[in-house]
Amino acid sequence: MDLSVKLRDKSARIGIIGLGYVGLPLAMEFCRKGFRVTGFEVDRRRTAELRRGKSYIPDVASEKLRKWRRAGLFAAGGRCDALSGQDVLIICVQTPLRKTKEPDVSNIVAAVREIARRLRRGQLVILESTTYPGATEEVILPVLQESGLVLGRDFFLAFSPERVDPGNPIWGIANTPKVVGGADPASTRLAAEVYSCVVDRVVPVSGTRAAEVVKLLENAFRSVNIALVNEMAQICRRLGLDIWEIIEAAATKPFGFMPFYPGPGIGGHCIPKDPQLLSWKMKTLNFDPRFIALATAVNGGMPEYAVGRIAEALNGARKPLHGSRILALGAAYKPGSADYRESPALDVMDLLLQAGARVSYHDPLVPDLEVRGRRLVSVALTDRLLKAADCVAILTAHRQVDYGRVARLARMVFDARNATKGIASAKIVRL
């Protein structure tokens, strides 16, 4: 039966490879629309939790997971042999950078090789994992063609960049427009049909390379603008101005300005990494993307800048950073999220530990983590703890924390996120 027909009558089987922050919410959305979904995950701990009906992704409620399992719409831990039974295979695996800043596509290649061994006529393969321009057709397509099947006739291939924003209560999978680009026109059309089943608006582009660059532009845009405002924060400090006041006033302009906010660095799995993918690719073409390099350098220097401000504030109170008790508030890379991948808060804590500070942290969403090989556990935010700290450093501003209380009880507050906005106190040092 034609895939278009299967999509219309919801008999199409959806396979999702990689059940992390991207794959699992996407699986739930297809289930919500009545499709049968098989999830493929190499992490056995994740698979075991899913089979018990427990979600490890904050944006996916365990109740929903159990509901779709009971309805027979979701199965986790599918074996590779089951790949051939899927009509659509969506790859959502991680694509990290190597230490050399080169893209590591080994997870993608591993997934595609398993698919290629079982590829059958009529299947559509979609890559959602962010990668460098050209990777879909340079890395995936040749492996699939080893099966002897022909693109556009026997099988189909597309790229559709994920646009997941963990913890965002407004924009989810259904109402966030989805960009799709196929390796041929038929692949673009089919991929658009697939996502039209679960997304309000699909935006087709000319091909896989265009779709790949869309994602990289989106995150390079954020990286460059965050770097600009991080540099402006340092400029305002030297001018004796409040960067937060400046941004708030500039944001009143109804055109030509979009507010971005400074912080102790940038984090998450995408923004620190994705512009580097574009940079790497362009250097292979003898083009030096200078904006990306400069933004990376500015943002990468912000944790050190934040620690320097903390040390300076302590010196003003006649306390050395070495031996001081620093309580870090927030470890996640952004408010409302439990994700601390590439979080600048960890970089700040790392530098503080290197300087000899005694560091503890509180994050209502991150119960434990590892910094410099040391396992830290989130401490209860008691009055005694706040009073005992030589400095409380606000690194991620979760809404669950009462910052008025923090400002009232702490001896000194370093606020890297403007969480204490509106609180006038000589104890508060702002970024």
Query: Which residues are known catalytic residues?
Result: 270
Average pLDDT of span 86-102: 92
Q: Quote the domain boundaries for residue 288.
A: 243-430
Q: What is the pLDDT of residues 141-159, one digit of tens each?
A: 999 999 999 999 999 999 9
**Domain count of the chain?**
2
State whether 255 and 125 are in the same domain: no
Phi (first) and psi of residue 147, to 5 degrees: -70, -15
Give residue 359's pLDDT band: very low, low, confident or very high (50, 70, 90).
very high
Residue 425 resides in a domain:
yes
Q: What is the pLDDT at residue 195?
A: 98
Q: What is the pLDDT at residue 1?
A: 63
Residue of 410, 431, 240, 412 whose CA lies nearest to 315: 412
Residue of 296, 223, 304 whose CA lies nearest to 260: 223
β-pairing, 358-362 vs 325-329, is: parallel
Write the CB contacts of 44 (distance below 8 Å, at least 6 apart in sequence): none
State whether 138 and 274 are in the same domain: no
Q: What is the pLDDT at residue 97?
A: 87
Give residue 381's pLDDT band: very low, low, confident or very high (50, 70, 90).
very high
Q: What is the pLDDT at residue 79?
A: 85
β-pairing, 202-204 vs 178-182, is: parallel
Residue 230 resides in a domain:
no
What mean pLDDT value characterizes the chain?
A: 95
Q: What is the CATH number of the domain that holds 316?
A: 3.40.50.720
State whether 85 and 200 are in the same domain: yes
**Contact yes or no for 399/336 (Cβ under 8 A):** yes
Q: Compute the Cα dihedral for 371, 22, 400, 414 and give only its sign.
A: positive
And the tokens for 291? 């904006």
Q: What is the pLDDT at residue 254?
A: 96
Last residue of a domain, one of 206, 224, 256: 206
Q: What is the pLDDT of residues 303-346, one digit of tens each?
A: 999 999 999 999 999 999 999 999 999 999 999 888 888 899 99
pTM of the model: 0.92
**Contact yes or no for 55/61 (Cβ under 8 A):** yes
% pLDDT > 90, the chain? 90
